[in-house]
Structure 1
Amino acid sequence: MTQAETETVPEPVRPGRTRWGMFTAILAVPTLVVAALIALLIAWLFTDDSVDTGVRKVSCAEAFAYGGAKPPTGARDLACVLEAAQDPRYEARFLLRRAEVSAWVAANYPDGPGLRNVQCDGADTYACMNRGPVAGQSASVQLEISSDSPNWSVVQFVAFTQ
């Protein structure tokens, strides 16, 4: 029997590839990108990215001695740091009773200058002192005193070389 030209011949069905390979390839790219981002995030979290600023805590006796003074008795919240750059710079910050501030400055710097209440830098500063190096000392000292409450003052002490 011969086939007529108008008949269609069925193609033989062969087992072959499916489209799962293409689907897997399309999903693999975003999965790898997300995995790489997670790995970068974990690496960023666990690396040491701190920078040494050169500022470290020091004993307050050392900080005040550099500026030719003694730590005040009765001071609260006394904190002292050293900023180690080319020349050392000691800073101390503390609370002192308002009535004791002038006496502490006069006891530590009897040869002057005294506290002044004009030409001070800070807006909240009610008294300040700038003292250059004197005989036997190499450090200059700056004091800024501002009000913390009616009875307490915040004193910022800075001793540095010029």
Structure 2
Amino acid sequence: MTQAQTETVPEQIRPGRTRWGMFTAILAVPTLVVAGLIALLVAWLFTDDSVDTGVRTASCAEALAFGGAKLPTGAYDARCTIQAGQDTRYEAGFRMPRDEVREWLTATYPDGPRLRTEQCGSYSVDECLNRGPVAGQSSSVQVEVTYDGPNWSEVRFVAFTL
């Protein structure tokens, strides 16, 4: 017998598959999650998330007039606000001489209650006055007085509708 010669065909060499594709896919997911969290953080930092309470600066003459009062002549450092919604609420705060507080309140509310030292709602308040609605009016008034030394007092005046 004759021997048949076989031809050897060289094997074609193809590049082998690497695992870089799998490695990239595994790293892409956490990278995208971190990038998303950073984007949310930046958006949160630069957005205006303040809440509008409806409190605005008001004229002190208007605020006190709503409760039937006028700013005392010796008053200073006055600041007043209005909060308007379903009900209207004016707040005024000012400083005045200590010995003129009672005179001012007596002249403002001659038929009203007098200052009292108990049931004022806060330990820091020395005297207070609550005046409910009077005939023909739909507003109430609360006055809180805190004495600041022997000569001065801090007055907080609140007038609101019922």
TM norm. shorter chain > 0.5: yes
1:152 is matched with 152
> Does 1:122 find its partner at 2:160?
no
Show structure 1 runs of 5+ residues with no match. Answer: 1-10
Within 1, Cα distance between the matches of 2:95 and 2:140?
Answer: 22
Structure 1 residue 94 displacement after superposition: 1.8
* Residue in 2 that maps onto 1:113: 113
CA RMSD of aligned residues (A): 2.0
> Which residue of structure 1 lines up, in the alignment, with residue 68 of structure 2?
68
- For 1:4, the equivalent position in structure 2 comes to none
2:20 matched residue in structure 1: 20
User: Partner amino acid for 1:101?
Assistant: V
In 2, Cα distance between the equivalents of 1:69 and 1:30?
A: 66
4+ aligned runs moved over 3 Å, structure 1 = 11-14
Q: Which stretch shifts more, 112-121 or 50-59?
A: 112-121
Residue of structure 2 in register with 1:43 after alignment = 43
Quote the Cα distance in structure 2 between the aligned partners of 1:121 and 1:49. 33
Q: Check if 1:134 corresponds to 2:117.
A: no
Whole-angstrom distance in 1 between the partners of 2:47 and 2:96:
42
Shift of 1:124: 2.1
Q: Percent of aligned pairs with the same residue?
A: 69
| Paired letter, 2:49 | D
Task: State the Cα distance separating 1:136 from its structure 2 match.
Answer: 4.7
2:115 aligned partner, one-letter code: L
Q: Give the corresponding residue for 1:58.
A: 58
* Secondary structure, counterpart of 2:113 in structure 1: coil
Letter in 2 for 1:147: Y
Q: Normalized against structure 1, the TM-score is what?
A: 0.82
Corresponding residue number in structure 1 for 2:81: 81
Gap regions ≥5 residues in structure 2 = 1-10
Report the residue type matching 1:116 in the other structure: R
Worse-superposed segment, 55-64 or 96-105: 96-105
Between the aligned partners of 1:15 and 1:134, the Cα distance in structure 2 is: 97
Task: Please give the secondary structure, in 1, of the residue aligned with 2:37.
Answer: helix
Distance 2:52 2:122 in 1: 28
Decide which moves more: 95-104 or 56-65. 95-104
- Aligned residue for 1:48, secondary structure, equals coil
Distance 1:161 1:79 in 2: 20
Q: CA deviation at 1:135?
A: 4.2
* Residue aligning to 1:30: 30
Is 1:104 aligned to 2:104, yes or no? Answer: yes
Kept in 2, the 8 Å contact 1:68–1:137? The answer is no
